[in-house]
Amino acid sequence: MQLQNMLRIPMRWACAPGPRQEVVLSSRIRLARNLADAAFPARSTPPSLKRVLETVFAAARRTPALAGAAFMRMDDLDATDRQFLVERHLISPSLAERQAHRGAAVGDGESLSLMVNEEDHCRLAALRPGLNLAEAYESARAVERGLAETLGFAFRRDWGYLTACPTNLGTAMRVSTLVHLPGLSLAGIIDRLLDNLTKLGLIVRGLHGEGTKVLGDFYQISNAAALGRTEGEIIAAVGKAVGQVADREAESRDKLCAGAGKLRLEDLVHRSAAALQGARLLSFDEASQHISCLRMGHALGWKLPGSLGLASELMLITQPAHVQMHAKKELSPGERDAARAALVRERLALVS
Amino acid sequence: MQLQNMLRIPMRWACAPGPRQEVVLSSRIRLARNLADAAFPARSTPPSLKRVLETVFAAARRTPALAGAAFMRMDDLDATDRQFLVERHLISPSLAERQAHRGAAVGDGESLSLMVNEEDHCRLAALRPGLNLAEAYESARAVERGLAETLGFAFRRDWGYLTACPTNLGTAMRVSTLVHLPGLSLAGIIDRLLDNLTKLGLIVRGLHGEGTKVLGDFYQISNAAALGRTEGEIIAAVGKAVGQVADREAESRDKLCAGAGKLRLEDLVHRSAAALQGARLLSFDEASQHISCLRMGHALGWKLPGSLGLASELMLITQPAHVQMHAKKELSPGERDAARAALVRERLALVS
């Protein structure tokens, strides 16, 4: 467990103000790139993986956008460190699982990340607070251009960037946003809305992407296909759809606040705030629900402990590896629940 | 609704410190007396009931122990007033139901009450905080002696005081205590203990006696038979049994606080305190559970909003008629839940 110092660095993207922040926590652009002269990681050999890791890290160290970045080899990190990076959206669960000759670089206040030898040789990502895909794209492109100075990427004029999985072929870009939809959930229309998004060619997932659970009404919305449209077109389409989702969420919250329902909503939100302040044992699942309600209350401008930004931060720091990183030791699930409750109380007391 | 002024008078018995107060909220001695020259209320006629009410009220007004008492005719009070008196343990639910020629007197900071034409002509009661049956008995006897100056009570040397129901025959005394047993309940041994009490000739009931619900682990423990033993013997037996119950409850709380269970208990208690501070809608049933936990936390000396006395008071003032009396109007159940939550928050904020 060696990444404790990351706890002290404010994450530039996670809890900062941004466009449509009442619904959209963050925007993320991920680009996949592969070296033209090496096999995809899944079909590679350890010596080849090693060479790719060294080559990409060397290129990244020369990339201006990644100046000051931290470079990490997965096999230097223990399971809690790796899980900590997953929880911070800096590496994927699948990179955390396979460690040999895998690495990651994290730069610019954690708003930039680069995974090496995950499904593709390079997966670089840029994050921005709120709904701000254009800026995130510019930032990701700056990293990509820096890497391209020394790396030769696999590319074909007809297929675009070549990737291990055909769904990424073409732009090799995944545009995703982390959204908070408690109003649509309380109104009982969330499932219909998510169905509609799927029909529009979008993918809706839980907090940590593919195969992860939806917690506290936080969803990742991203593009399904990377092929057949330009980067600008994909970004515009996702941005428009997410903007509409944010509108629908805002309408739902307004409706919940109108008339007799308001008191029920206040009861729910204030009870959640109280539970976060009172609990001595708090599972992550329960914490997520209460944090979700607290965040909605702040988004509505209600007087509550903490702030909108702190609610977003709590969603991050109450995750299991974060709780252990704060405690500076491995904890059993029961100990984690106690440490999580203490951490939440402490943070809420500071900002109340 | 005319009894609002009673809200402002501190109840001498309900929330004040007393012996074994961590478990025993109050002690109550009730004496039943009937006039020798009138039929029992159930077999009486309106003119006879009217005469009894006037005669007993006249005697009560001349009784020194009842100096300054308030005299109320039930048919002068609306349903909320009557329910309010029931909630304050000053009249019985059955007196509240039948109003014509029924009355009550309340004296000495609500520690003395007299019901006229309930099941018997006179039912007088004295209350004391904590486990203090002897003082309550002295107080009740002072009222009884005062009434006996002018009233001729039905009495036979062989049967003792004659009462409408044979279970009251003899001493016509009911000794009861209001106890708070959350520790025994959490330890899962409450049912066994209550069974044992029944075998010892005691009756265990809910908050408002016969046929009422147990709420928040508050129980009434009283003697089953009034016959065959002297007043002193009955008081000693109930006092001893209740003292033992208080010992068992204290042991249970100690055990719950030992080792790993302490954190679970803290979680429960602090969550209850938080729910009482956070809720915007609060049913009486839910409030009772949380107040019970809060009261136990105070009894254990933990730092919590409010105080032991306030927790006892909350159990009283969160009852439906009290909530309406505070609001100075009739409320629908939904409005009551909102008013109850507001009242609890206000009281806790004052004493935090």
A203 touches chain B (CB under 8 A): no
Q: B80 and B12, same structural domain?
A: yes
A254 burial (CB, 10 Å; 0-12 / 13-18 / 19+) is: exposed
Q: B327 and B206, same structural domain?
A: no
Give tens-digit pLDDT for A209-221: 666 777 889 999 9
A149 burial (CB, 10 Å; 0-12 / 13-18 / 19+) is: exposed
Give tens-digit pLDDT for A285-336: 999 999 999 999 999 999 999 999 999 999 999 999 999 999 999 999 999 9
pLDDT, average across residues A230-243: 96
Rounded alpha-carbon distances, angstroms, from residue B217 to A261, B83, B178, B258: 32, 22, 10, 21
Domain with B181, as residue range(s), is 2-253
Percent of chain A with pLDDT over 70: 97
Answer with the one of A222, A253, A284 that is the final residue of a domain.
A253
Contact list, A338 vs chain B (CB under 8 Å): 263
Please tell me the predicted confidence (pLDDT) of residue A15: 76
**How many angstroms separate the CA of residue B160 from the nearest CA in chain A?**
56
Tell me how far apart the terminal alpha carbons of chain A are, to the nearest angstrom.
Answer: 31
> What is the ipTM metric for this complex?
0.88
Q: Which of A53-62, A121-130, B186-195 has the lowest mean pLDDT?
A: B186-195
H or E element at residue A6: helix A5-8
Mark which residues 246-265 of B lie under 8 Å from A by CB.
263-264
B294 touches chain A (CB under 8 A): no
**How many angstroms separate the CA of residue B35 from the nearest CA in chain A?**
54
- Dihedral sign, CA of A178, A179, A180, A184? negative
Q: A294 and A201, same structural domain?
A: no
Rounded alpha-carbon distances, angstroms, from residue A216 to A176, A186, B316: 18, 11, 37
Which of B264, B279, B338 faces A270 most closely, judged by CB atoms?
A: B279
- We report the CATH number of the domain holding residue B206 as 3.30.590.10
Contact list, A275 vs chain B (CB under 8 Å): 271, 274-275, 278
Structure tokens at A159: 């297929």
Answer with the one of A218, A253, A288 that is the final residue of a domain.
A253
What's the whole-model pTM score?
Answer: 0.91
Q: B293 and B248, same structural domain?
A: no
H or E element at residue B267: helix B261-278
Mark which residues 215-234 of A lie under 8 Å from B by CB.
none
Query: How many beta-carbon pairs below 8 A join chains A and B?
Result: 49
Please judge whether A278 and B275 are an interchain contact, meaning their C-beta atoms are less than 8 angstroms apart. Answer: yes
Please judge whether B278 and A274 are an interchain contact, meaning their C-beta atoms are less than 8 angstroms apart. Answer: yes
Q: B192 and B151, same structural domain?
A: yes
Q: B292 and B163, same structural domain?
A: no
Q: A149 and A12, same structural domain?
A: yes
Q: For residues B343 and B329, what is the distance between their CA atoms, to the nearest angstrom?
A: 14
A134 burial (CB, 10 Å; 0-12 / 13-18 / 19+) is: middle
Structure tokens at B217: 């682990």
Q: A289 and A237, same structural domain?
A: no
Contact list, A280 vs chain B (CB under 8 Å): 263, 266-267, 270-271
Assign A95 to helix, strand or coil: helix
Q: A134 and A50, same structural domain?
A: yes
Please judge whether A279 and B275 are an interchain contact, meaning their C-beta atoms are less than 8 angstroms apart. Answer: no
Is B41 within 8 Å of B49 (Cβ atoms)? yes
Average pLDDT, chain A: 93
B331 touches chain A (CB under 8 A): no
Please tell me the predicted confidence (pLDDT) of residue B12: 66
Q: For residues A99 and A77, what is the distance between their CA atoms, to the nearest angstrom?
A: 9
Q: For residues A26 and A16, what is the distance between their CA atoms, to the nearest angstrom?
A: 9
**How many angstroms separate the CA of residue B265 from the nearest CA in chain A?**
9
Q: Which of A205-209, A274-278, B124-128, B341-345 has the lowest mean pLDDT?
A: A205-209
Please report which confidence band the pLDDT of residue B49 belongs to, taking 50, 70 and 90 as the band edges. Answer: very high
Q: Total domain count for chain B?
A: 2
Q: A105 and A8, same structural domain?
A: yes
H or E element at residue A198: helix A190-199
Q: For residues B14 and B30, what is the distance between their CA atoms, to the nearest angstrom?
A: 16
Is B101 within 8 Å of B93 (Cβ atoms)? no
Chain mean position to CA A298: 21
Q: A43 and A63, same structural domain?
A: yes
Amino acid letter, residue A295: R
Please judge whether B274 and A270 are an interchain contact, meaning their C-beta atoms are less than 8 angstroms apart. Answer: no
Q: A318 and A207, same structural domain?
A: no
**How many angstroms separate the CA of residue A210 from the nearest CA in chain B?**
34
Answer with the one of B253, B273, B291 that is the final residue of a domain.
B253
